[in-house]
């Protein structure tokens, strides 16, 4: 029904040169590639910025800092139909967990199912530790094999949340605007297939980057047999309206805007962020994030649901974008309180106010504080927090 409007020259792609997410094999911490481990996990601007933003209570700051400086815990999710997932989980627990615990090595932590997502598992051990510990060798081989068969995927726990909140059903039309490499697309597809092998609904998975679309099709979707997914390669901010067979316009029941962002919540996975991060990274993305989210909202059915998500804790990338979207919608959109969904998930409320800093941590309270000509294009009104009255109507604490 839908196809990419751009020509793909897949022959140009060098085999094996794409970063592969959702795999267990990767060379990031292999001997000879020690750059990753040697990165100094400090960035004074980052600490100062997050102290100022109040996105979590200040007394948790040391805990926050220590968590970001620790290795990323390993998490993975079982895929496929309900029955197969149950069977595989049973097999993993029976074949390996007992033996691992009997060995009594205190350095080894058996993966535990997430309280808010029972098909997903996490261990505080790093991937390198899981891969190299002799007691875990058999479990590791099992995970590698099942990942290659498409029965499980490695995915960060937080990345699993947006599809769970969208909760599409089998008759839903779902638009995933920034889909590659596709962990969330797979989750969405599983949901529409959950009770129906041939669902009426479908997922349109879009990404502007052709190479990443290739990765989405050939690495992620390859193992997922479905006729309910189409991949498009478009700028999400200009995503076109799609006509149905009768000439009507398709409006989506669910939209995911998992937008491009500074990724400053992924420091443990992308260590170069420690060296490079400044508050300006977010400022430069703000307009694009709003444009993508706005296009998503325009494609939504009346009564439909959209999730806007980033890999950043920065209110400039989160609350400021949502606030502008609500302002623009003039009452057609409202924020939904999701606190009763996934009740076991530990979370903080969104914030109503925040601070705008530039690259050098200069604070801007309004457009009047701009002294440099070049900053006039960067610092725009929508970066600033809403007035108290506006904030009360917006319910930004639901974010």
- Is 221 a residue that touches ligand SAM (CB under 6 A)? no
| 190 part of the interface to ligand SAM, by CB under 6 A | no
Residue from 209, 226, 370, 395 in contact with ligand SAM (CB under 6 A): 209
Exposed / middle / buried, residue 269 (Cβ in 10 Å: 0-12, 13-18, 19+): middle
The answer to whether 311 is a known catalytic residue is yes
| Residue 184 annotated as part of some ligand binding site | yes
Pick the binder of ligand SAM from 179, 191, 290, 379 (CB under 6 A): 179
Distance, in Å, from the CA atom of 364 to the CA atom of 362, rounded to the nearest integer, reads 7
Residues 133-172, one symbol each (x = binds ligand SAM by CB under 6 A, - = not), give --------------------------x-------------
Task: Spot the catalytic one: 213, 229, 261, 311.
Answer: 311
The answer to whether 307 and 166 are in contact (CB under 8 A) is: yes
Answer yes or no whether residue 390 interacts with ligand SAM by CB under 6 A.
Answer: no
Q: Whose CA is closest to 172, among 107, 229, 103?
A: 229
What does the alpha-carbon distance between residue 116 and residue 347 come to, in Å, rounded to a whole number?
Answer: 12
Kindly state the smallest distance separating residue 179's Cβ from ligand SAM, in Å: 5
Flag whether 297 is marked binding: no
- Residue 208 engages ligand SAM in binding (rule: CB under 6 A): yes
**Under the criterion CB under 6 A, does residue 18 sit at the interface with ligand SAM?**
no
DSSP helix/strand/coil, 183: helix
Least distance to ligand SAM, CB of residue 209, Å: 4
Per CB under 6 A, which of residues 251..290 are in contact with ligand SAM?
258, 260
Cα atoms found within 13 Å of the Cα of residue 301, Cβ hemisphere only = 14
CA 227 and chain centroid, separation:
24
123 contributes a contact to ligand SAM by CB under 6 A? no
Q: Which two tokens stand for residue 95?
A: 């074949």
Is 181 annotated as ligand-binding?
A: yes
- Give the distance from CA 331 to its chain's centroid: 27
* Per-residue interface string for the shown chain with ligand SAM, residues 39-58, x marking contact by CB under 6 A: --------------------
308, 335 Cβ separation under 8 angstroms? no
Task: Decide if residue 180 touches ligand SAM (CB under 6 A).
Answer: yes
- Known binding residue 182? Answer is yes
Q: Output the smallest distance, CB 236 to ligand SAM, in A.
A: 3
Q: How many C-beta neighbours within 10 Å does residue 297 have?
A: 19
Q: Is 153 labeled as ligand-binding?
A: no
**Cβ pair 313, 55 in contact under 8 A:** yes
108, 174, 192, 236: residue in contact with ligand SAM (rule CB under 6 A): 236
- Give CA–CA dist 312/379, Å, rounded: 19
**Residue 389 DSSP code:** H
Binding residues for S-adenosyl-L-methionine: 178-184, 207, 235, 258
List active site positions: 311
For the annotated binding site, the residues are 178-184, 207, 235, 258
């Amino acid at each position: 029904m839908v196809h990419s409007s751009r020509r793909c020259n897949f022959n140009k792609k060098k085999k094996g040169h794409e970063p592969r997410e959702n795999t267990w094999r990767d060379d990031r911490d292999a001997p000879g590639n020690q750059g990753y481990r040697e990165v100094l996990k400090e960035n004074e601007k980052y600490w100062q910025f997050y102290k100022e933003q109040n996105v979590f209570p200040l007394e948790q700051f040391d805990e926050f800092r220590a968590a970001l400086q620790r290795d990323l815990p390993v998490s993975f999710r079982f895929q496929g139909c309900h029955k197969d997932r149950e069977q595989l989980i049973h097999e993993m627990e029976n074949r390996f967990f007992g033996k691992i615990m009997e060995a009594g090595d205190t350095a080894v932590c058996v993966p535990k199912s997430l309280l808010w997502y029972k098909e997903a598992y996490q261990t505080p051990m790093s991937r390198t530790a899981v891969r190299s510990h002799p007691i875990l060798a058999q479990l590791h081989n099992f995970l590698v094999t099942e990942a290659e068969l498409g029965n499980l995927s490695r995915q960060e726990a937080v990345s699993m949340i947006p599809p769970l909140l969208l909760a599409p059903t089998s008759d839903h039309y779902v638009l995933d605007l920034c889909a590659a490499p596709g962990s969330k697309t797979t989750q969405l597809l599983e949901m529409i297939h959950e009770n129906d092998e041939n669902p009426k609904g479908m997922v349109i998975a879009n990404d502007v980057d052709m190479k990443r679309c290739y990765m989405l099709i050939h690495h992620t979707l390859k193992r997922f047999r479905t006729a309910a997914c189409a991949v498009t390669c478009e700028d999400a901010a200009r995503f076109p309206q799609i006509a149905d067979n009768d000439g009507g316009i398709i409006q989506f029941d669910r939209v995911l805007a998992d937008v491009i962002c500074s990724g400053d919540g992924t420091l443990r996975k992308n260590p170069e962020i420690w060296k490079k991060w400044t508050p300006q990274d977010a400022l430069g993305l703000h307009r694009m994030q709003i444009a993508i989210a706005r296009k998503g909202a325009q494609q939504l059915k009346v009564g439909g649901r959209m999730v806007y998500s980033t890999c950043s804790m920065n209110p400039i990338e989160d609350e400021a974008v949502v606030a502008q979207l609500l302002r623009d919608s003039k009452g057609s959109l409202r924020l939904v309180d999701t606190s009763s969904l996934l009740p076991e998930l530990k979370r903080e409320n969104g914030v109503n106010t925040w601070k705008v800093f530039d690259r050098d941590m200069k604070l801007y309270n309004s457009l009047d504080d701009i002294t440099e000509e070049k900053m006039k294009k960067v610092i725009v009104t929508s970066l600033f927090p809403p007035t108290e009255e506006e904030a009360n109507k917006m319910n930004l604490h639901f974010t």
